[in-house]
Amino acid sequence: MLANPDEEVRRGAVMSLQHVGGPAAITFLDQALGDGSWRVRKAAVEVFRALPDRAQAARTLVGALADSENAGRRTGAMEALVAMGRVALPYLHESVHHPDGDVRKFIVDILGVIGDPSSVDSVLPLTRDPSEIIRLAAVEALGAIGGSRSFEALLTLLPSEDVSLQFSVLHALGRIGKPIPMDSIRPLMPKKILRRALFDALGQTRSPEAVEFIIDGLSDSTKSALQAGVRALHRLSEDPGLLDFVTQTVKKKMLARPIGPLAEFLEANHLGTKRATIALLSMIGTPEAVQSLVRAYRDDSIQAEVAEALARLGSVSEDTIAEVVKEEPEAGREVLQILREAPGAERALGPMSNQQFQMVRDLVSDESGLYYERDLKYLVERRVQRRMEEMGLREYERYFDLITAGREPGREEKKRLIGALSTNETYFFREDFQLRAFKDEILPALKEEKEREGVRRIRVWSAGCSSGEEPYTLAILIKESRGLNGFKFEIIGSDISEQMIANARAAVYNPASFRSTEDYYIKKYFSVEGSRRRLAEEIRKMAAFDTQNLMSCGQAARLQGLDVIFCRNVIIYFSAEAKKRVVDQFFELLNPGGYLLLGHSESLMSVSSQFELVHLKQDLVYRKPGGRSSKP
């Protein structure tokens, strides 16, 4: 049956074995885990989960983890073991010292996802494993398991001389969320390379000393560490016993500092960073801080938080806001109206019910992977209302009937709605530390590897590229790189929104797209068109664009055989299941030794254990095993 070319036939054969059991059924299901179709593999996972002979099923799945020739089978086995949960623990514990290093790592990752406290004794010895990858995986697993025993075990690892291990330990401790003794943190403070993870951990200490250290460290931190520090301060300020101290210390130490680097985070993709920045700016309370908040009011994902922050500032901010009205009339007037407690204009549409919100959320999630928690109901509501206004509809039920009917107009409108709900924030040379890693470390490593193989082509995909700034930035960096003569580069940009792809192809940009771009690049590669700038043709022709739903990217022929995937600040908005599905497809699309670059606040922890974590000079990136070297 598994040789049948019809996917549905193969899937049906797998599903027919539910609750059957026996050696023959298990052997058949084991083979189905390596099927070329993810739907067949998914069915095998579900059937494995329900087999009556749990012991034999678990042992078979552990054996499948050793299949180095079929990544799909390995992935399916991991999913099935996770789905079995605590039932599989005895067989995972007995295999945790498997002679194959890959299998050891997969088992540790699975134990972390299952998260049972009984696994601590099995995982802890692997923090001393000869393999760095396994040591780091064991630390991540302890953080995922949580609890007092994991917490105490992680604290004992902090004095290590291994910086990578310390970095991971700090993140794991932060994930557990218990207050961390300052005596354990203090010796690490001079190490700038640990600062981002250190800030995350300090956010859990509930210590006045932590507050002062974070604020002092913000001025000379990298952008990623700075964002972590802002979030940590926000967490500390949420402790009622620390709020006054955080506020006073922020005012004392940050009043004279430039607001610009901090205000930039109001345009970040990470909602937690935006909210933390709003809180910090409202503590600072200077006219510049108020101006930044008023301008941020245009972002409907944080309007409520901005309005609340400005209301806390009260009449002190009204004169400043009045000044901003001259530059930002729409946002400024609306904020003034809120502060003066004047009634706002009533909306033509009332709020969605919780049931209606859940229906829209699930529809969008199933189609695109985007998942909105209940606290973002107001954001979904506003964007649905905008689509309804454009279509002249005034009843939610009529709109929902349209997008769920399955007819062509509804399918097109569903695409437009998903595009409207997608976050399209981007600009040139965003997160420059990652871009330096790409230009100075990844490209030279790929060049060396390709030359050994006799290949002179490098393929890069910018997934979720919005209006194209990222793929064009990569094209500029490649153009500016030396030693790549004779290499052919293919840069692919994709987004789920047809409008964004049309904008990317037009390659004409507003000033906001250049907020982090050096004048050198602007003058060299852009021409002025009124208040906007057009990208030079030599860069435009280096990138090709198309619409692409990440949930089905593995089926796109043009994306096969990639060397680098940029997917920054995209899957952060996906459900856990959608993240797993998309990352598995990324793994399949990458060549052995290929790189995956996520946003600085994103991680594959509890999502995938297939990638290696590579510590570059500029950044931590993920790499598909199989190249000649484990590091560039």
Render 54-116 in DSSP notation, one character per residue: HHHHHHHHHHHTT-TT-HHHHHHHHHHHHHHGGGGHHHHHHTTT-SSHHHHHHHHHHHHHHT-
Q: Provide the pLDDT confidence category of residue 620 given band limits of 50, 70 and 90.
A: confident
Write out the two tokens for 157: 């690892």
**pTM: predicted TM-score of the whole model, two decimal places:** 0.57
β-bridge partners, 623: 595, 612
Characterize the bridge pairing of strands 526-529 and 532-535: antiparallel
pLDDT at 321 (0 to 100): 59
Q: Provide the pLDDT confidence category of residue 341 given band limits of 50, 70 and 90.
A: very low
Lowest mean pLDDT among 11-15, 329-333, 350-354: 329-333
Q: How many CB atoms lie within 10 A of CB 4?
A: 11
- For residue 452, pLDDT beyond 70: yes
Give the DSSP H or E segment for 500.
helix 498-506
Q: What angle do CA 342, 348, 350 make, to 5 degrees?
A: 90
Which string of DSSP letters, residue by residue, matches 391-403? HT---HHHHHHHH
Give 198-244 pLDDT, tens digit per residue. Answer: 998 899 888 899 999 899 888 877 778 888 899 999 999 999 999 99
Q: Where, residue-wise, is CATH 3.40.50.150 in the chain?
A: 432-623
Contact present, 206 and 239 (Cβ < 8 Å): yes
* Cα 540 to Cα 210: distance, rounded to the nearest angstrom: 48
Contact present, 588 and 72 (Cβ < 8 Å): yes
Q: Provide the pLDDT confidence category of residue 1 given band limits of 50, 70 and 90.
A: low
SS (H, E, C) 334-381: HHHHHHCCCCCCCCCCCCCCHHHHHHHHHHHHHHHCECCCHHHHHHHH
DSSP label at 123?
Answer: H
pLDDT at 449 (0 to 100): 92
For residues 539 and 177, the model is more confident at 539
Give 593-611 pLDDT, tens digit per residue. Answer: 999 999 876 778 667 778 8
Contact present, 592 and 624 (Cβ < 8 Å): yes
pLDDT at 39 (0 to 100): 75
Amino acid identity, residue 37?
A: S
Q: Where, residue-wise, is CATH 1.10.155 in the chain?
A: 354-421
* Cα 185 to Cα 198: distance, rounded to the nearest angstrom: 8
pLDDT at 344 (0 to 100): 38
Tell me what the pLDDT averaged over the chain comes to.
Answer: 86
- CATH classification (class only), 354-421: mainly alpha
Best-predicted range by mean pLDDT (67-71, 513-517, 621-625) = 621-625
Q: What are the backbone dihedrals phi and psi of residue 491, each rounded to the nearest 5 degrees, phi first?
A: -115, 125
Lowest mean pLDDT among 104-108, 173-177, 312-316: 312-316
pLDDT at 318 (0 to 100): 55
Write out the two tokens for 569: 């600040």
CATH code for the part of the protein at 432-623: 3.40.50.150
Residues 6+ apart with CB under 8 A from 412: none
**In the sheet that 562-567 helps form, which strands lie side by side, from edge to edge?**
543-547, 488-495, 457-463, 562-567, 590-598, 620-623, 612-615
